[in-house]
Structure 1
Amino acid sequence: MQLEWLEDFIELAQVRSLSRAAENRCVTHPAFGRRIRALEDWAGVALIERKQPLSLTPAGLLFLDAATQALERLNTVRAQFQDSGRYQDTPLRIATGRTLASDFFPDWYETLTARFGVFPVSIVTSGAQEAIRRLAAREVDLLLIFSSPQTHLLIDPDRFESMTLTTEALLPVSAPLADGTPRFAISADGQGPVVPWLALSPSLTLRGALARHLAGLPQRLSLRMIYEADSYEAILEMARRGNGLAWLPRMAVRKALDAGDLVIAAGPNYQFSFDISLHRLRANRGERLMTIWNGLLEDAPMTGAEEKI
């Protein structure tokens, strides 16, 4: 029997819907159903009535009380361990993306250590959906992510607390010509020759955000995708080599812009802002985590679920 099965069951008992509980637990409906059946197999008795509306069996009601008490007791003991000197070197676990890990986190970590003292950190990088799953499964303590409507849908404010750390910009960039103008440029009215486009993969959070921004403009751009990647770094290198126009976060292109390897390829209408946000599971209240979280909360420009995008 796994602890996550107990968490699954408690979530199901609260929402009384297999599909909603699976969504909240960041797993597919079939996988969630298999986990509930595995729990019932372990208990040796049916725990839910599989009819509409969903309800718990008498055994399920008894098991719910036992599961809730068991998890609360285990979490209390775990918190006591974390508060003791025995586990002082346990790292703060953070899930994030590769670009945030390399271009945002180092400077941010220095501001944290200047304020809270030096502490160990363990970083794991992945796509947004996998990172959210890790947070929900308590495999990490914090989620550092680019905000978008997609992440807003996946992060339930009832289970997660969120704050905005800063605002970032997605910029259209191109390698320059000899005179410093963009090799591939978009005119103010969006008209002109077809521009080769170095595209973000649909699996990346900012691809959908970019699509929504461009769709909201009065003019339709003439773009021809010639390259697509799920790595901002790979797209950056292709843009530097003069292969096309790309939209990339300011933090990823700052050095290339300063060095003159890239230039802005379009006006303000084709740039847009988005948030970098931080999230934690409300049930996770480790001492170090809460000290840092509450300190950051005092300075955050906005709290709550991702409200701006």
Structure 2
Amino acid sequence: MNWLEDFMELAAVRNFSTAAAARHVTQPAFSRRIRALENWIGTELIDRSSYPVRLTGAGETFLESSRELMREIYRVRDECRQQARAGIEAVTFSALHTIALSIFPDLLTAIEERTGPFITRMHATDFYDCVESLALGRCDIAFCYSHELGPPVLQTGQFASKIIRIDPFYLVSKADQEGNPIIDPASWPKNKDIPLVAYSSDCFLGKVQSQLMLDMQKAGSSFRATYENSMSEAIKRMILAGKGIGWLPESAAVREIEQNELCIIDRKPTEVSLNVLAIRRQGVGSATQERFWSNLRGL
């Protein structure tokens, strides 16, 4: 379905960058998905030699069939949803892994103490898939981070949002028996790279991390990545194993900091405050969704 909707968007605007922005994905990811569709069909659908791009003869044929297929798919989906609403309604969420693991359970408990229980479904994923899930109607509410150093987040137009929490983003190290960092950039030899447990450069926290690293590099620090992952939980495990320093949201590390397993390195220069956003589409949702949203308190 994603491939079909990508193709129809590209056919409408005839520009990869514009279509990717409309589909809330990066242009490289969008291009890969169009190429995956063409591989599945077995022939090129887009003539990339012209500007703006054009559909090939096969592309023109496939476009009409795609529209018919999507209309039928959404008709069947709506019919199934109407049948499901006759029973118990669930609220469907999409969230970044860190938020799904470290913030959402306590948030849900706090809301249920005021309103009674909910049936919930959670899809833990990366930033771009989280935003795309909301835009395409695959979830009712999305939870993601927002910060000026990261990629932009949907907060206007057809979307409504609430900042529900501030989550500080700390540079941390494994702590020794005295509670001091085993790796401290302030005392690290200037001629040696600091071992870093790093986020993947294409994830949200990776983009924030990259800017913080640049700031430290300007001050004379240099880094050597020893491990890379897009999930905070994986980053934390490797820092605890002594593989390097790294950045973690407070929500993912608070227990280990309190138990002196991790310690924060030099709070002020290396810390940023991440907004935790709850985002939904404008308009009236199900009664269950509206009950959850109305009791979701913003800062």
TM range (shorter): 0.7 to 0.9
User: 1:39-188 maps to which residues of 2 (within 5 A)?
Assistant: 39-41=63-65, 86-87=86-87, 89-149=88-148, 153=152, 155=154, 157-187=156-186
User: 1:144-293 maps to which residues of 2 (within 5 A)?
Assistant: 144-149=143-148, 153=152, 155=154, 157-187=156-186, 193-216=192-215, 219-283=219-283, 285-293=285-293
Q: What is the CA deviation profile of residues 236-266 of structure 1, one whole-angstrom value per residue up to 9, with x for unaligned ones?
A: 1111122211111111111111222111122
Gaps of 5+ in 1: 45-66, 302-309
One-letter amino acid of the counterpart of residue 198, structure 2: A
One-letter amino acid of the counterpart of residue 102, structure 1: L
Matched residue SS, 1:144: strand
Give runs of ≥4 in structure 1 deviating > 4 Å.
2-13, 15-19, 32-39, 77-82, 149-152, 188-193
Matched residue SS, 1:257: helix
Of 28-37 and 228-237, more deviation after overlay is shown by 28-37
One-letter amino acid of the counterpart of residue 112, structure 2: T
Of 175-184 and 136-145, more deviation after overlay is shown by 175-184
* Contact 1:148-1:206 at 8 Å conserved across structures: no
Q: Residue 187 of structure 1: CA displacement?
A: 2.1
Report how many aligned residue pairs link the two structures: 267
Matched residue SS, 1:172: strand
Q: What is the CA deviation profile of residues 72-95 of structure 1, one whole-angstrom value per residue up to 9, with x for unaligned ones?
A: 9x97x899777x6x23x2211101
User: 1:17-36 maps to which residues of 2 (within 5 A)?
Assistant: 19-26=17-24, 28=30, 31=34
Whole-Å Cα distance in 2 between the matches of residues 286 and 20 of structure 1?
32
Whole-Å Cα distance in 2 between the matches of residues 191 and 146 of structure 1?
34
* Contact 1:150-1:205 at 8 Å conserved across structures: no
* Contact 2:4-2:66 at 8 Å conserved across structures: no
Q: What is the CA deviation profile of residues 24-76 of structure 1, one whole-angstrom value per residue up to 9, with x for unaligned ones?
A: 233636749889954534679xxxxxxxxxxxxxxxxxxxxxx9xxx99x97x
Of 25-34 and 139-148, more deviation after overlay is shown by 25-34
One-letter amino acid of the counterpart of residue 281, structure 1: R
Q: What is the CA deviation profile of residues 86-126 of structure 1, one whole-angstrom value per residue up to 9, with x for unaligned ones?
A: 23x22111011222111111100011112222110001111
* Contact 2:149-2:211 at 8 Å conserved across structures: no
Matched residue SS, 2:104: helix
Rate the CA distance shift 1:193–1:116 in 2: closer, same or farther, 3 A. same
Whole-Å Cα distance in 2 between the matches of residues 8 and 114 of structure 1?
45
Whole-Å Cα distance in 2 between the matches of residues 144 and 187 of structure 1?
35
Rate the CA distance shift 1:283–1:151 in 2: closer, same or farther, 3 A. farther
* Contact 1:166-1:276 at 8 Å conserved across structures: yes
Matched residue SS, 1:153: coil
Whole-Å Cα distance in 1 between the matches of residues 3 and 175 of structure 2?
53
Rate the CA distance shift 1:42–1:108 in 2: closer, same or farther, 3 A. closer
Rate the CA distance shift 1:4–1:282 in 2: closer, same or farther, 3 A. farther
Whole-Å Cα distance in 1 between the matches of residues 21 and 156 of structure 2?
13
One-letter amino acid of the counterpart of residue 255, structure 1: R
Q: What is the CA deviation profile of residues 125-179 of structure 1, one whole-angstrom value per residue up to 9, with x for unaligned ones?
A: 1111112121111111111112245875352622322221111011111112333
Whole-Å Cα distance in 2 between the matches of residues 43 and 251 of structure 1?
44
* Contact 1:127-1:203 at 8 Å conserved across structures: no
* Contact 1:91-1:122 at 8 Å conserved across structures: yes
Rate the CA distance shift 1:124–1:224 in 2: closer, same or farther, 3 A. same
Rate the CA distance shift 1:293–1:191 in 2: closer, same or farther, 3 A. farther
One-letter amino acid of the counterpart of residue 298, structure 2: A
Q: Percent identity?
A: 20
